[in-house]
């Protein structure tokens, strides 16, 4: 009898000594962040998957499950969801059911553009008509001016890398980066190519963590200008404010579609002059990089270029906005209107000024509707 009693007590200890055992098998409510675009789940299937993370500091991960009840997803928006997660008998997540959409925010301009690697032999790219393609029936996009390139690549079953912009539910094809068969994709899509660039007659802040001025360039004359965030600029190229350049370069592109270097191939022997008040422009500056005005002008970004703030009575306002008082005021972001004169750059007006970068982005979006620039801030 004693042996039997001891066995009962020992068995009870085994069962009650691990109170957490199996506790994670029950349903669990959790918060997940969902990115503004989807990616191909796997190179061997045509499905599209969400990109998900738990915290804003985490890396995005490909999420191969569906959210039951989440039918309102639109490309170009980031979401915060509360989901109910159920687990299988082994404690692995089995399904995710939407409890609530806590936030739906349009993505900021700096993150709207992205590249997708698409394995066309899976059928993920579907032709709807001569001018329109679909990503597995999920979202459609106009293919011009790359329709022939896409059609040829899909016909050959190639891997394609395309650059898109997702904004408010719409998907826009920005660039056909490259295509190749699967064996040659890594080498073909991370290499050098020649390209014609138009360089704007002014510079603008790159929007990086450290204040830096960037060229603005475009490939086609009808395109928007966009920032060229290269630390070393264009190798071999000499630039001057007030001139619009038409040059040819050899650009180096990473497999992710990012320009990593540019070398001058053919210079513009007679750049177009854009000097004078008929050629006003908007440009972004980080207040941290502006020196206090002196004698009616200021310098910035450690550049020798002089900026006239007196002609239109802007000096005192700019000095106020760049004030660095740690307790009460930080240097602001500025959207300035100006033109290049024979001697310096004349500041005509201060269009936007904000300490908070998100507020500044909103102001820029409201104020530069007539500008042909993708700011990338």
- For 229-242, the pLDDT digits (tens) are 887 899 999 999 99
**pLDDT at position 9:** 40
**pLDDT at position 237:** 97
Report pTM: 0.54
CB neighbours of residue 366 within 10 Å = 10
Tokens 């085994």 correspond to: 14
CA angle 130, 114, 148 (to 5 degrees): 25
Q: What percent of the chain has pLDDT over 90?
A: 62
**pLDDT at position 323:** 92
What does the block give as tokens for 212? 């830096």
Q: What percent of the chain has pLDDT over 70?
A: 88
CB neighbours of residue 206 within 10 Å = 21
**pLDDT at position 97:** 94
**pLDDT at position 22:** 40
Question: In the beta sheet, which residues pair with residue 336?
Answer: 283, 350
**Measured distance CA(101)–CA(99) in Å, rounded:** 7
Q: Which of 196, 209, 194, 191 is nearest to 257 (CA)?
A: 191
**pLDDT at position 17:** 41
**pLDDT at position 376:** 64
E-assigned strands of 130-274?
Answer: 132-135, 139-142, 159-167, 170-180, 192-199, 204-205, 213-218, 225-228, 243-253, 259-266, 272-273
Tokens 């290049």 correspond to: 340
> What are 136-159's pLDDT values in tens digits?
999 999 999 999 999 999 999 999
**Measured distance CA(187)–CA(136) in Å, rounded:** 27
**Measured distance CA(117)–CA(119) in Å, rounded:** 7
**pLDDT at position 231:** 76
> What are 15-47's pLDDT values in tens digits?
344 334 344 567 889 999 999 999 999 999 999
Q: Which whole number is the average pLDDT over 344-355? A: 96
Q: Which whole number is the average pLDDT over 178-186? A: 86
As a whole number, the mean pLDDT across the chain is 87
Q: With 70 as the cut, is the pLDDT of residue 284 above it?
A: yes
Q: Is the Cβ–Cβ distance between 159 and 165 less than 8 Å?
A: no
Q: Which whole number is the average pLDDT over 348-353? A: 96
Q: Which whole number is the average pLDDT over 112-118? A: 86
**pLDDT at position 229:** 84
- Is the peptide bond between 212 and the residue preceding it cis, with omega within 30 degrees of 0? no
Q: Which whole number is the average pLDDT over 353-357? A: 92
Q: With 50 as the cut, is the pLDDT of residue 12 above it?
A: no
**13: three-class secondary structure by DSSP:** helix
Q: Which whole number is the average pLDDT over 363-367? A: 85
**342: three-class secondary structure by DSSP:** coil
**pLDDT at position 283:** 95
**Measured distance CA(246)–CA(62) in Å, rounded:** 41
**181: three-class secondary structure by DSSP:** coil
**pLDDT at position 7:** 40
Question: In the beta sheet, which residues pair with residue 118?
Answer: 160
Q: With 50 as the cut, is the pLDDT of residue 364 above it?
A: yes
């Amino acid at each position: 009898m004693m042996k039997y009693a001891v066995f009962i007590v020992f068995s009870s200890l085994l069962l009650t000594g691990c109170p957490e055992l199996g506790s994670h098998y029950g349903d669990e409510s959790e918060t997940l962040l969902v990115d503004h675009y989807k990616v191909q789940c796997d190179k061997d299937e045509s499905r599209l998957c969400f990109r998900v993370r738990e915290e804003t500091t985490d890396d995005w991960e490909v999420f191969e499950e569906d959210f039951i009840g989440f039918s309102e997803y639109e490309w170009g928006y980031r979401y915060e969801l509360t989901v109910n997660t159920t687990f299988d008998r082994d404690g692995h997540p089995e399904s995710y059911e939407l409890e609530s959409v806590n936030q739906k925010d349009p993505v900021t301009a700096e993150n709207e553009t992205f590249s997708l690697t698409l394995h066309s032999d899976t059928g993920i790219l579907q032709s709807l008509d001569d001018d329109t393609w679909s990503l597995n029936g999920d979202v459609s996009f106009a293919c011009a001016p790359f329709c022939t390139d896409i059609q040829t690549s899909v016909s050959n079953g190639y891997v394609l890398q395309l650059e898109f912009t997702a904004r408010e539910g719409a998907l826009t094809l920005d660039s056909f980066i490259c295509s190749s068969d699967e064996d040659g994709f890594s080498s073909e899509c991370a290499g050098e190519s020649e390209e014609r660039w138009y360089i704007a007659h002014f510079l603008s802040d790159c929007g990086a963590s450290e204040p830096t001025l960037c060229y603005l360039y475009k490939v086609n004359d009808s395109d928007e200008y966009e920032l060229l965030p290269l630390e070393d600029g264009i190798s071999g190229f000499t630039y001057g404010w007030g001139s619009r350049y038409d040059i040819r370069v050899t650009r180096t592109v990473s497999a992710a579609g990012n320009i990593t270097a540019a070398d001058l191939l053919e210079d513009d022997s007679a750049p177009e002059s854009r000097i004078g008040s008929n050629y006003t422009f908007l440009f972004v500056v980080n207040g941290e990089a502006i020196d206090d005005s002196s004698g009616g002008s200021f310098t910035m970004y450690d550049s020798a270029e002089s900026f006239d703030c007196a002609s239109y009575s802007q000096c005192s306002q700019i000095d106020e906005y760049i004030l660095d008082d740690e307790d009460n005021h930080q240097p602001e972001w500025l959207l300035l209107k100006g033109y290049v004169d024979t001697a310096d750059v004349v500041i005509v007006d201060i269009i936007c000024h904000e300490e908070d970068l998100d507020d500044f982005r909103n102001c820029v979006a409201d104020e530069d509707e007539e500008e042909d620039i993708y700011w990338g801030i």
